[in-house]
Amino acid sequence: MEKEFIGLLGVVVGFVLNLAYGSWGKRKQRKQEQYYLAILVTMHLDRFFDEAVWLCGDNGRPDQEGCYISTTPYPKLELPTKDVDWRCLPQDLMKDILWLPECIRSAQDLIASASEYAASPPYFEEFFETRQYEFAKLALSVNKMSMRLRKLANLPMRKISDESYDPITALIKIVSKVDKVRDERHLNRRRLLKEMRVTQKTSN
């Protein structure tokens, strides 16, 4: 009886040890995959961030006809697709990163719409306003994703500011400024419509 118990105990212990070792091995592999993916993706995110910050400083320059044109191309984001497993990331972070190309496309659509329907020569203010606004928001989001990836994989945080310039503060100011301008513009339009209605009623 005692031998049978010892034998059964040995089987149970062996099973538990194998289970624990398998679980440990999977966790180790997952961490390695996260580390590798984080290195690759943060490089792409950081490059996009830098290019977006550069774009946000583009107020245009006059062409031969005196109309302002942009001087900075749109930032590009090419996420790695080969030899990586995106499922090793937490679902919310994976979703945010993989959704980025669609967010960029939507931003470019808004900019194109502002250029076609709202902006007017020679300064095309609404075009540059929308361009800087959308990419400032994207840059802030991308920077947060990069920080989340670095924290997840225990990578060192990137230093992007110094004593003379902090791009994060500059981007936040752009978003805040445009929000304020748009709020004022909206109030002015409502005020104008109200005055027009009053004028029409008076004339009738």
Higher per-residue confidence, 21 vs 159: 159
**DSSP 8-state code for residue 82:** S
pLDDT in tens, 105-151: 999 999 999 999 999 999 999 999 999 999 999 999 999 999 999 99
Structure tokens at 69: 């044109």
The 10 Å Cβ neighbour count of residue 139 is 27
**Selection from 184, 86, 70 nearest residue 130 by Cα:** 70
Residue 21 reports pLDDT greater than 60: no
d(CA 184, CA 130): 16
Residue 46 exposed, middle or buried by CB count within 10 Å (0-12, 13-18, 19+): middle
Q: What is the pLDDT of residue 167?
A: 96
